[in-house]
Amino acid sequence: MRIYHSEMSKARRARTELDGGQLVPPWECPERVDMILAGLRKAGFTEMVEPAEHGLAPVLAVHDADYVDFLATCWDDWQALGREGEAIAWIWPTRTMPGRRIPSCVDGRLGHYALGADTSICGGTFEAAQASKDVALSALDHVLATGEPAFGLCRPPGHHAAVDQFGGYCFFNNAAVAAQRALDAGLSRVAILDVDFHHGNGTQQIFEQRSDVLFVSIHGDPMTCFPYFMGHADEVGEGEGAGYTVNYPLPEGTGAEVWFHVLEAAKERIRETGCELLIVSLGVDTFEDDPISAFKLSSDDFTEMGRRLGALGLPTLLLMEGGYAVEEIGVNVANVLSGMTS
Ligand code: SP5
Ligand code: ZN
């Protein structure tokens, strides 16, 4: 299987994440990329390809222009104020104070465009986000041209990024950008299967009123898990999109037996709806030793995941999302790819 990755993905090297009331080194670190590449090489994957530049047009097909402009200018605006730390949102429009205008000051703009305080903006963030969507788009181009599966080692991840919000370590929604591009290339319906531990709130929001993208997600129950405010089973899509959003929230502690049972139900929904392309939002933070997540999949279970995904028999684009057990992330990703190609 071809692997797409960009060294520019590592241009984002944030120092801080607000977690548990403290500023800690971010869980979503650039070392993840090298560990995944090493794991893939060790497993015999040798075809590593740098992406082609696709520009911002495919991003603007799913994200608002003012949001993209915010991401492009945020760090400079922050630095111009002489701030010591990284750009972190700290005030929001809320239930009792709905924002009616987008503020001009960067502190207010951060609150408008952020969905949480877990994601600092630092120098190199916009560049890394652009590399990440180029990785997704180049991998997509390969799948569309050959019918062969491809893996896009996207970093930063994408599935929490909504039409005009960043957070959960995500800036551009790589899976959504790729799905839209596939539709624009002539496909009628695309499935996005999100197996990251966290609900893909951004992907759901982008497509929830549409039937041309089926969004199916298996994730930690938002009653107790990030992102808390989306991902319940009764969120099924709206209007035209009714029935094309499918959520499977599962309790913390869920292990392989239940998880694979739910995966088969998810696959059935994908088969029923006649999707022509499968995009997998591939988080491996369902791993039992993930430091911020709560499912119990073993490294061997990821091989089985790959096998079961391959059994759908659809052209498949795998895009990296989360996974924070840095020591094991390479093995876990390689196992999915090996299972799929076995
Ligand atoms: C792409 C992706 O997986 N994003 C996840 C973003 C989660 N951010 C909030 C993490 C909070 C972690 N707190 C747990 C502390 C355990 N020591
Ligand atoms: Zn995740």
Please report the atom of ligand 1 found closest to the CA of residue 323.
Answer: 3
Please report the atom of ligand 1 found closest to the CA of residue 197.
Answer: 3
Domains of the chain: 2-54+123-341 (3.40.800.20)
Task: Find the ligand nearest to 199 CA.
Answer: 2
Check if the beta carbon of residue 161 is closer than 8 Å to that of residue 250: no
Q: What pLDDT was estimated at residue 43?
A: 98
Task: Find the ligand nearest to 115 CA.
Answer: 1
Render pLDDT for 186-235 as a digit per residue (tens, 0 to 9): 999 999 999 999 999 999 999 999 999 999 999 999 999 999 999 999 99
| Torsions phi, psi for 3 (to 5 deg) | -115, 125
Q: List, as one string, the DSSP characters of 31-99.
A: HHHHHHHHHHHHTT---EEPPPP--SHHHHTTS-HHHHHHHHHHHHHHHHTT-SS-B------BTTB--
At 107, the pLDDT band (50, 70, 90 cuts) reads: very high
- Average pLDDT on 21-42 reads 98
Q: Which of 160, 198, 199, 219 is catalytic?
A: 160
Render pLDDT for 114-125 as a digit per residue (tens, 0 to 9): 999 999 999 999
In the chain, pLDDT over 90 holds for what percent of residues? 100
One-letter amino acid identity for 53?
E
At 158, the pLDDT band (50, 70, 90 cuts) reads: very high
User: What do you get for the CA distance between the two ends of the chain, in Å?
Assistant: 11
Location of structure tokens 């903006």: 121
- Average pLDDT on 308-324 reads 98
Render pLDDT for 10-22 as a digit per residue (tens, 0 to 9): 999 999 999 999 9
Q: What pLDDT was estimated at residue 196?
A: 99
- Please give the distance, rounded to the nearest whole angstrom, from the Cα atom of residue 105 to the centre of ligand 2: 31
- Please give the distance, rounded to the nearest whole angstrom, from the Cα atom of residue 226 to the centre of ligand 1: 7
Cβ within 8 Å of residue 40, ≥6 positions away: 3, 48, 151, 330, 333, 334, 337
Partnered with residue 14 across adjacent β-strands are none
Prior bond of 98 cis (ω within 30°)? no
* Binding site membership of 196 for ligand 1 (Cβ less than 6 Å): yes
Q: Decide if 160 is catalytic.
A: yes
Q: Rounded to whole angstroms, what are the CA distances from 277 to 59, 141, 270? A: 19, 12, 10
At 79, the pLDDT band (50, 70, 90 cuts) reads: very high
Mean pLDDT of the chain: 98
Structure tokens at 208: 């929830």
Interhelix angle 299-310/256-272, rounded to 10 degrees, is 20
- Please give the distance, rounded to the nearest whole angstrom, from the Cα atom of residue 115 to the centre of ligand 2: 15
Nearest in space to 292 (alpha carbons), one of 317, 264, 265, 325: 325
Render pLDDT for 225-270 as a digit per residue (tens, 0 to 9): 999 999 999 999 999 999 999 999 999 999 999 999 999 999 999 9
- Please give the distance, rounded to the nearest whole angstrom, from the Cα atom of residue 26 to the centre of ligand 1: 9
Interhelix angle 326-341/31-42, rounded to 10 degrees, is 40
Structure tokens at 38: 């090493």
Q: Which of 18, 33, 226 to mutate to test ligand 1, by most ligand atoms within 8 A of the CB atom?
A: 226
Location of structure tokens 């630095």: 79
| Burial per residue of 171-205, b for 16 or more beta-carbon CB atoms within 10 angstroms, e otherwise | bbbbbbbbbbbbbeeebebbbbbbbbbbbbbbbbb
| Torsions phi, psi for 108 (to 5 deg) | -70, -40
* Binding site membership of 283 for ligand 1 (Cβ less than 6 Å): yes
Structure tokens at 52: 């082609």
Residues near ion ligand 2 (CB < 5 Å) are 196-198, 283, 285, 322
Q: Provide the pairing of β-strand 48-49 with 2-4.
A: parallel
One-letter amino acid identity for 14?
A
Other beta carbons less than 10 A from residue 333's beta carbon? 28
Residue nearest to atom 5 of ligand 1 (CA): 168
* Binding site membership of 20 for ligand 1 (Cβ less than 6 Å): yes
Render pLDDT for 34-65 as a digit per residue (tens, 0 to 9): 999 999 999 999 999 999 999 999 999 999 99
